[in-house]
C-alpha cells in the first residue's frame, strides 16, 4: 500500500492506495487541494519509492520550493529518489515536434526512458496542461504500460472544469481505481472545502464528503460548527463539557438555583481525525433571538432533550421545527436516561414530531461514551450529506 500521507484518508481507503493503482485527484477550480498530491508524493518518497513527477506547468525549482512551503518538508534530489519532466521539457518537446502525434511520441519516449533508467514505481502527473495538449484519453496514454514499468502506480492531479458528470463517467468506465474529488461550497458556510471519495475499485464503501482545512502542511478533516440546542435544563452545557477537551460556558447562577447558560457554550475536540467545534445555545425562550445567529452556518445540530421531562416536549418541538428548516443533519439526544421514568423513543418521536429519518439516542450527558456515540452519528450524517 502507498500512503496518501493523510492519516484519516488512508483509514477510509482501507490502509492507503494499493500498488499498481491509477488514482485521480480531481480539483475544482480555486479549491485549495494541491496538498493531496504533494502529501502522497512526500509519503512515497519517505517510503523510499522511486518517483517521476510530471510538472509541465512549472519548473523543478519552483515546484520543490512550493512543495516545501505547502508540506513543510523539503524534497531533495540527493535524499529522495525522484526525477522530473517539467515546463522546460514541455517547451523543448513543443519546439521540436512538428505535430501533436510527434509531441505525444516524444513525451512517451522521455517517460519510458526515465521510468526504465530510474526504475520508477510511482508516477505523479499534473494533468491540467497535458489534458489541454492531448485531450484526456490521449493524455492518459502517455502513462500506459507501454511507457511505464509494470505495476507502476499512477497518480494524477486534474483541474476539473467539466464538473461532476465528467467524474461520474470516469467512475462508470472504471478509468481509475480511485477518484477523489476535491471541491468547494458556499453552503452551509462560505469558502468551505471538502473532498469526496467518488470511487474505489478495491472497496464498495459509501461515498462520503469530508470537510477539510489545510493546517500546518496537513489536510485536516474538520467540522467547523456543530450546534447543541434544546429546552432549558436538558443538559446542553454538560453535553458540550463531556464532548470536548477544552471549552467555556457563559453561565449565570441565580439565588437558590443552578447556573444556566445565558450566552453560549463553546468547546473544541479532535476526534476520529476531525477537528470539531461545538456551540451550545441557551435553552430559555427569552434567548430565542440569539438562536439564528448561533445556528447560522452550522453543519449539524444536536437537539438535546430531557428524557424525563414531558413538560418540555412543546419547547423541544418548537426548536425542532426551527432547526429542521436549516436542512442540515440533525440528531436527537434524550438525556438523563439513568433517572427514573424516561420516555421511550416512540414517545419522544411523537412528542417532538420527529420523523423516522432522524436518529434518537437515549443518553446520560455525564457519560463520555454516550456523548461520543451521538457525535459519531452526527459526523456520519454530515459526511454523507450532499453539499
Partner 1 sequence: MLYLSGIGSLPPGFPAIGTTSYKHSGEIIQQEMYSYKTGIPQIDQATGGFDAGTNLLILAPSLSLAEELAYILARPLPGEYAIMLSTNERASEVIDQFRVVGADKSFVGVIDAITKSSTPTITDTGRFMFVTNPTDLTGIGIKFSQMLETIFDGTFSGKETGLFPPPIRFCINSVSTLLMYRKLEVLYQFLHVMTAKLKKVEGFGIYILNSEAFDERTVSLIKQLMNIVIEIKVERSDNYFRVMGIHGINADWHKFTTSKGQVVMAL
Give the interface with partner 1 as residue ranges (CB under 8 A).
27, 29-34, 56-59, 61-62, 64-65, 69, 87, 126, 128-129, 132, 157, 159, 161, 184, 186, 190-191
Of the two residues 48 and 163, which places its CB atom closer to partner 1 in the complex? 163
Of the two residues 29 and 150, which places its CB atom closer to partner 1 in the complex? 29
Of the two residues 137 and 186, which places its CB atom closer to partner 1 in the complex? 186
Of the two residues 59 and 118, which places its CB atom closer to partner 1 in the complex? 59
Provide the terminal-to-terminal Cα distance of the chain, rounded to the nearest Å: 31
Phi/psi for 171 (5° steps) reads -65, -45
Q: State the minimum distance, in angstroms, from the CB of residue 140 to partner 1.
A: 18
Of the two residues 193 and 229, which places its CB atom closer to partner 1 in the complex? 193
Q: State the minimum distance, in angstroms, from the CB of residue 182 to partner 1.
A: 11
Q: State the minimum distance, in angstroms, from the CB of residue 67 to partner 1.
A: 12
Of the two residues 212 and 361, which places its CB atom closer to partner 1 in the complex? 212
Of the two residues 84 and 361, which places its CB atom closer to partner 1 in the complex? 84
Q: Is the peptide bond before 188 cis (omega within 30 degrees of 0)?
A: yes
Q: State the minimum distance, in angstroms, from the CB of residue 161 to partner 1.
A: 4
Beta strands in the chain, from DSSP E residues, in sequence order = 22-27, 51-55, 82-86, 122-126, 153-159, 178-185, 192-200, 209-215, 218-229, 246-253, 259-271, 274-280, 300-306, 330-335, 360-362
Q: State the minimum distance, in angstroms, from the CB of residue 66 to partner 1.
A: 8
Of the two residues 65 and 372, which places its CB atom closer to partner 1 in the complex? 65
Q: Are 339 and 386 in contact (CB under 8 A)?
A: no
Q: Which of 331, 325, 341 is closest to 300 using CA atoms? A: 331
Instruction: Return the number of other C-beta atoms located less than 10 Å from residue 224's C-beta.
Output: 15
Q: C-alpha distances in angstroms, 220 versus 24, 212, 269?
A: 20, 5, 13
Query: Cell numbers of 58, please?
Result: 512549472
Q: Are 302 and 229 in contact (CB under 8 A)?
A: yes
Q: Are 260 and 252 in contact (CB under 8 A)?
A: yes
Q: Which residue has cell 438535546?
A: 304
Q: State the minimum distance, in angstroms, from the CB of residue 381 to partner 1.
A: 26
Q: State the minimum distance, in angstroms, from the CB of residue 243 to partner 1.
A: 26
Q: Are 238 and 364 in contact (CB under 8 A)?
A: no
Q: State the minimum distance, in angstroms, from the CB of residue 59 to partner 1.
A: 6
Residue 58 contacts by C-beta under 8 Å, 6 or more apart in sequence? 66, 86, 87
Q: State the minimum distance, in angstroms, from the CB of residue 129 to partner 1.
A: 6
Query: Cell numbers of 86, please?
Result: 517539467
Gap between the Cα atoms of 157 and 179, Å rounded: 10
Of the two residues 181 and 378, which places its CB atom closer to partner 1 in the complex? 181
Of the two residues 190 and 355, which places its CB atom closer to partner 1 in the complex? 190
Gap between the Cα atoms of 19 and 155, Å rounded: 11
Q: State the minimum distance, in angstroms, from the CB of residue 251 to partner 1.
A: 27
Q: Which of 200, 136, 61, 48 is closest to 125 using CA atoms? A: 136
Gap between the Cα atoms of 95 and 114, Å rounded: 20
Amino acid at each position: 500500500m502507498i500512503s496518501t500521507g493523510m492519516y484519516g484518508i488512508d483509514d477510509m481507503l482501507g490502509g492507503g492506495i494499493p500498488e499498481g493503482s491509477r488514482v485521480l485527484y480531481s480539483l475544482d477550480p480555486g479549491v485549495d487541494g494541491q496538498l493531496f498530491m504533494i502529501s502522497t508524493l512526500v509519503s512515497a518518497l519517505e517510503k523510499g519509492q522511486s518517483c517521476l513527477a510530471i510538472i509541465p506547468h512549472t519548473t523543478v525549482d519552483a515546484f520543490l520550493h512550493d512543495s516545501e512551503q505547502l508540506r513543510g518538508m523539503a524534497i531533495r534530489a540527493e535524499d529522495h529518489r525522484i526525477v522530473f519532466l517539467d515546463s522546460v521539457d514541455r517547451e523543448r518537446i513543443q519546439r521540436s515536434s512538428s505535430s501533436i502525434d510527434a509531441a505525444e511520441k516524444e513525451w512517451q519516449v522521455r517517460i519510458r526512458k526515465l521510468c526504465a533508467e530510474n526504475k520508477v514505481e510511482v508516477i505523479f502527473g499534473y494533468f491540467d496542461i497535458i489534458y489541454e495538449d492531448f485531450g484526456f484519453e490521449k493524455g492518459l496514454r502517455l502513462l500506459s504500460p507501454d511507457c511505464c514499468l509494470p505495476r507502476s502506480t499512477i497518480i494524477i492531479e486534474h483541474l476539473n472544469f467539466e464538473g461532476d458528470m465528467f467524474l461520474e463517467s470516469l467512475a462508470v468506465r472504471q478509468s481509475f481505481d480511485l477518484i477523489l474529488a476535491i471541491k468547494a461550497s458556499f453552503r452551509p458556510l462560505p469558502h468551505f472545502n471538502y473532498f469526496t471519495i467518488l470511487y474505489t475499485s478495491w472497496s464498495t464503501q459509501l461515498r462520503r464528503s469530508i470537510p477539510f482545512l489545510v493546517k500546518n502542511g496537513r489536510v485536516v478533516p474538520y467540522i467547523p460548527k456543530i450546534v447543541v440546542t434544546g429546552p432549558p435544563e436538558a443538559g446542553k452545557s454538560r453535553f458540550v463539557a463531556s464532548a470536548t477537551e477544552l471549552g467555556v460556558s457563559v453561565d449565570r447562577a441565580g439565588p437558590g438555583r443552578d447556573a444556566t447558560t445565558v450566552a453560549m457554550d463553546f468547546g473544541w475536540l479532535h476526534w476520529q481525525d476531525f477537528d470539531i467545534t461545538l456551540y451550545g445555545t441557551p435553552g430559555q425562550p427569552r434567548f430565542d433571538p440569539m438562536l439564528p445567529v448561533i445556528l447560522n452556518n452550522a453543519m449539524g445540530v444536536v437537539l438535546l432533550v430531557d428524557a424525563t421531562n414531558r413538560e418540555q416536549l412543546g419547547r423541544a418541538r418548537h426548536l425542532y421545527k426551527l432547526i429542521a428548516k436549516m436542512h442540515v443533519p440533525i440528531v436527537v439526544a434524550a438525556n438523563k436516561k439513568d433517572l427514573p421514568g424516561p420516555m421511550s423513543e416512540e414517545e419522544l418521536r411523537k412528542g417532538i414530531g420527529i420523523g423516522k429519518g432522524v436518529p434518537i439516542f437515549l443518553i446520560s450527558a455525564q457519560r463520555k461514551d454516550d456523548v461520543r456515540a451521538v457525535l459519531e452519528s452526527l459526523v456520519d450524517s454530515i459526511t454523507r450529506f450532499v453539499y
